[in-house]
Structure 1
Amino acid sequence: MRTRTLSAVVAGAATGTLLLTGVGTATAAPVKSDHHSKASAPATTKAAATPARAAWDGYVYLYYSTASNSAWASFYGPVPDFAGYTFDHGVDGYGQRVKNNVNRAWNNDASWAANIWYNENYTGAVDTLYPGESRQLKVGVRNDNASLNWTYVG
């Protein structure tokens, strides 16, 4: 059976997510924190330029280029606009803006798909990376990215 998620206004003020599992049934899906962060990746050796693939940490890692020493930044929650964020780890592209400069990404969250959007506030073209997926972004979003949100996939 396929499942779908959708946002709904609950009690007129809060936004929640419903997981639709069949005709006439709906259950509450877990809510990913609205907190977003540029926190560092899991512990790596001092010389390493990319995060270790040791365990799920709930972050999506965005990379400046496909180079092995590419600069990267990590995010946990939704980001309505990447303006003001820079690549703060690695070498190639270090200090460059994240907005409109992401070439590839790695979703290290076990239950949430990362949606990388062309425009601010989650509009326009979107590229979705499912749990564990690591690849170059699709044409239309690659180096033309402005926001990030998440979809619960279980």
Structure 2
Amino acid sequence: MRTRTLSAVVAGSATAALLLTGVGTATAAPAKSDQLRKTAAPATAEAAPARAAWDGNIYLYYSTAANSAWRAYYSGTPDFASDTFNAGVDGYGQRVKNNVNRAWNNDQRWAAHIWYNENYQGAVDTFSPGEARQLKVGVRNDNASLSWTLVG
């Protein structure tokens, strides 16, 4: 079984409290302790593996189209600037930063937070475990970083 820690919580920092409550901004994100894994992903949430096949990734999609380009993330990312969509058709090769239209959190215990600004600041849209939908206005196609919070 994988184990994950919130190093900021262990340290008892105010940053961790902000991330756990989802209020305010933060300068550091909890990291999943496992090594970053980028694996082949289903092109759409509808084509996803059964719920028993949680893989711990969040899938960020270029558009709402079924053949939309996607990128999988397993751990926090303070800035999407150097990342591009690496699979799919529509949007393939485009930058992830400021181009995410929808997401699917395929992790059963961690909520994913997609932030408007780099380094986990500004407006945020939170995806609960298993949630798949279009990003909220204010973060849709205006996204710069990703963090995680343990929820169950």
TM-score of the aligned structures, taking structure 1 as reference length: 0.75
Q: In the alignment, residue 91 of structure 1 is paired with which amino acid?
A: V
| 1:10-89 equivalences in 2 (<5 Å) | 10=11, 32-33=32-33, 35-41=35-41, 49-50=43-44, 52-54=48-50, 55-89=53-87
Aligned partner (choices 107, 110, 113) of residue 109 of structure 1: 107
In proportion to residue count, which structure has more strand? 1
Secondary structure of the equivalent of 2:8? strand
Distance 1:32 1:135, change over 3 A: same
Task: Please report the RMSD computed on the Cα atoms of aligned residues, expressed in angstroms.
Answer: 2.9
1:34 is displaced (CA, Å) by 6.7
4+ long deviations beyond 4 Å: none
Alignment deviations for residues 41-77 of structure 1 (CA, whole Å, 9 cap, x no partner) = 2xx6xxxx43633310000000000011100000000
Q: Would the aligned equivalents of 1:99 and 1:146 in 2 still touch at CA under 8 Å? A: yes
Q: What is the alpha-carbon distance in structure 2 between the residues aligned to residue 151 and residue 79 of structure 1?
A: 13
Q: Would the aligned equivalents of 2:7 and 2:31 in 1 still touch at CA under 8 Å? A: no
Report sequence identity in percent.
69
Q: What is the alpha-carbon distance in structure 2 between the residues aligned to residue 108 and residue 82 of structure 1?
A: 19
Alignment deviations for residues 18-39 of structure 1 (CA, whole Å, 9 cap, x no partner) = xx9xxxxxxxxx9622744443
1:16 is displaced (CA, Å) by 8.0
In proportion to residue count, which structure has more helix? 2
Bigger relative contact order, structure 1 or 2, given CA contacts below 8 A and separation 6+? 2
Q: What is the alpha-carbon distance in structure 2 between the residues aligned to residue 77 and residue 39 of structure 1?
A: 13
Q: Would the aligned equivalents of 2:31 and 2:76 in 1 still touch at CA under 8 Å? A: no
Larger radius of gyration: 1
1:100 is displaced (CA, Å) by 0.2
